[in-house]
Structure 1
Amino acid sequence: MNHEKAAIKTTYFSIISNSCLAIIKGIAGIYGNSYALIADAIESTTDIFASFLVLLGFSYAKRPADKNHPYGHGRIEPLITFIIVAFLVTSATIIAYKSIQNIQTPHQAPAPWTLFVLSAIILWKELSYRIVLKKGKEINSTSLIAEAWHHRSDAITSIMAFIGISISLIFGKGFETADDWAALAAAGFIIYNSYLIFRPALGEIMDEHLYDDLVEEIRNASLEVPGILGTEKCFIRKTGMKYHADLHAIVEGTLTVVEGHDLAHKLKDHLLDKIPHLTEVFIHIEPN
């Protein structure tokens, strides 16, 4: 299975998971008198829309390079990630606003059975986080990694809801708003998590140097080509799930232009074969 198909399959998993959980959380929150669960349902609903955006991004990103986009269309991925972050911040703001309103309004404590619902949700969301994160790292997808952190943030907001409901039930009268304080704390965590998602996507857009391991891999693989004496500059830019490399290779200074040209092609072919997540390598020959 290629990277694009794996990413799409994983995103569908997220959509189905979040759809089911949004319904369960919403029903449990309404009938169990828990705004923390309702807040959780709101976050899961925004995650569904975010996942559809990720799917659209993958469809666009897999378009081949053309005259107007010589490096391909992969940069749509971090742009989609920015939109996902906007969804998260919006949901966190809504949750915080409603939490403050509920804290100021007297109400009943949540139903005890909501704790069992939350326990199952926490386990499932943590498992979903691990599944999606593993796939995101395997295929170098910024959007999938952001999608994974949606699952992790969902798990943590559910843990906060669990703690809030437990406090309100254990301590009784006067602690009914613990559930709402938990939802407010969850909103703060979502904001913080949004920054963690936003930062690497920004680095990708800005061509920030973040790929030391890949640079080292390219340098070592280059030395396997007969005639390559060493490497000098090596710059990496990420576009979607693939990488472009600009490499200065050191060769014997007595080579002819044709020999240097042929050697550059051999080096490029070797690197593309040796390192599958490289999609293009631009070689500049440096005489020794």
Structure 2
Amino acid sequence: MADRHHSALLAIWISLISNIILTALKIVAGLLLASPVLLADGVHNAGDIIATAAALTSSMVSKKPADDDHPYGHGKAEVVASAFVAIILILAAFWIGIQSIGALFEPPGEENWLALGAAALSLIWKQALYLYTVRVGKSANSKSVLATAYDHLADVYASLAAVIGIGLGLFGDRLDWEWAAYGDPVAGIVVSLLVLKLAYEIGKDSVDILMERNVAAEKLAHYENLLRTEDQVKRIDRVRAREHGHYIIVDIRVGVPHDYTIQQGHDLSKQLKKLIMDFDPDVVEVMIHLNPWEERKLITSE
């Protein structure tokens, strides 16, 4: 768990530093090259710095052990950061959409090859960051890293729109394609919709976890199958599990022979807890309630 948390923190630090460098690069290049699309992309990237900083802070907070005020740990700090990233993406989507729609009613600007190169560099850089962070996020089961990864993906869309828009402007001038001058705002509108979709998915997942939605049915079924392998478990009354950021808390109720002693019940609870935690390393707590079970004999009349 400690190694996974270290990997998650490293991924967020790399993302934060990259966002700072790319934001400065895009804004400076946009101003020097008089490229509105590059400048808008840089302003959008500035929001990513805030989102990544929030993800970094939450990831550090989630590592704190449980205390009297937070007996289940601080894992949901990552989920709060994930929801914050979703809000940043919603604002970015509206920003890109409004800017793109406004550009449709303005004279097209002059494009140049340096602006295209800067946009292409951002596209490649962000794609690499997305692939890296999504792999680390899934491996560490870190909501904040996954939110950062999807934030990078939104930037990939934005940079792709910039590349398409600037590229169409450059080639449109050479080929006398008047319509190509408006390729950038049209691509920007499409990107705004894609970013909005990403924001919805991240936000929905965060709200579901904060509302303590059950984990996937397939995972619950695996837990139940594990419980059935234990002969002392005579009945499965309920199996629930909820994500708490980067870890899972499981709650089970099972029926055991009614004449079991407290010691036997205690030993069985420890055994069931170990069974589930050995199967799923994301589980950090298993709360077990034992219900009395008594075999009923079938009475037949002669």
The answer to whether TM tops 0.5 is: yes
Change in 2 beyond 3 A, CA 1:154/1:106: same
Alpha carbon RMSD of aligned pairs, Å?
2.3
* Paired position in structure 1 for 2:71: 70
Deviations 1:159-184 (A, max 9, x none): 12222222222223744343233334
* Paired position in structure 2 for 1:148: 149
Change in 2 beyond 3 A, CA 1:31/1:107: farther
Q: Distance in 1 between matches of 2:103 and 2:45?
A: 20
Q: Distance in 2 between matches of 1:268 and 1:279?
A: 10
- Tell me if the contact between 2:215 and 2:243 (Cα under 8 Å) persists in the aligned partners: no
The Cα shift of 1:59 comes to 2.1
The Cα shift of 1:278 comes to 0.7
Change in 2 beyond 3 A, CA 1:124/1:80: same
- Tell me if the contact between 2:250 and 2:285 (Cα under 8 Å) persists in the aligned partners: yes
* Paired position in structure 1 for 2:50: 49
Q: Distance in 2 between matches of 1:76 and 1:117?
A: 35
SS at match of 1:104: coil
Q: Distance in 2 between matches of 1:266 and 1:251?
A: 13
Identity score, percent: 26
User: Which of 241, 245, 251 is 1:236 aligned to?
Assistant: 241
Q: Distance in 1 between matches of 2:231 and 2:49?
A: 52
* Paired position in structure 2 for 1:202: 207
The Cα shift of 1:207 comes to 1.5
User: Which of 201, 221, 227 is 1:222 aligned to?
Assistant: 227
In the TM superposition, what are the counterparts of 1:101-140 in structure 2 within 5 Å?
A: 101-140=102-141
Higher alpha-carbon deviation: 125-134 or 85-94: 85-94
* Paired position in structure 1 for 2:27: 26
Deviations 1:105-142 (A, max 9, x none): 32432113332333332222112111101111112112
Deviations 1:165-217 (A, max 9, x none): 22222223744343233334333322222112111111111112232233233
SS at match of 1:113: helix
SS at match of 1:183: helix
Q: Distance in 1 between matches of 2:220 and 2:108?
A: 59
Matched AA of 2:243: K
Instruction: Answer yes or no: is 1:268 the counterpart of 2:269.
Output: no
Q: Distance in 2 between matches of 1:192 and 1:32?
A: 31
SS at match of 1:38: helix
The Cα shift of 1:143 comes to 1.5
* Paired position in structure 2 for 1:88: 89
Instruction: Answer yes or no: is 1:160 the counterpart of 2:161.
Output: yes
* Paired position in structure 2 for 1:185: 190
Deviations 1:195-254 (A, max 9, x none): 121111111111122322332332333345563356342101111111000112343444
* Paired position in structure 1 for 2:218: 213
Q: Distance in 1 between matches of 2:107 and 2:142?
A: 46
The Cα shift of 1:268 comes to 1.5
SS at match of 1:70: coil
Q: Which has the larger radius of gyration?
A: 2
Deviations 1:56-114 (A, max 9, x none): 11222222222222212212222112211222222333333333444333243211333
SS at match of 1:67: coil
Instruction: Answer yes or no: is 1:281 the counterpart of 2:286.
Output: yes
Q: Distance in 2 between matches of 1:141 and 1:31?
A: 39
- In structure 2, stretches of 5+ residues that fail to align are 295-302
Q: Distance in 2 between matches of 1:80 and 1:147?
A: 10
Change in 2 beyond 3 A, CA 1:149/1:128: same
Q: Distance in 2 between matches of 1:258 and 1:8?
A: 42
Matched AA of 1:235: R
The Cα shift of 1:266 comes to 2.1
Matched AA of 1:61: S
TM-score normalised by length of structure 1: 0.89
Q: Distance in 1 between matches of 2:214 and 2:93?
A: 31
Matched AA of 1:85: A
Provide the aligned length of Structure 1 versus Structure 2.
Answer: 288
Q: Distance in 2 between matches of 1:95 and 1:52?
A: 22
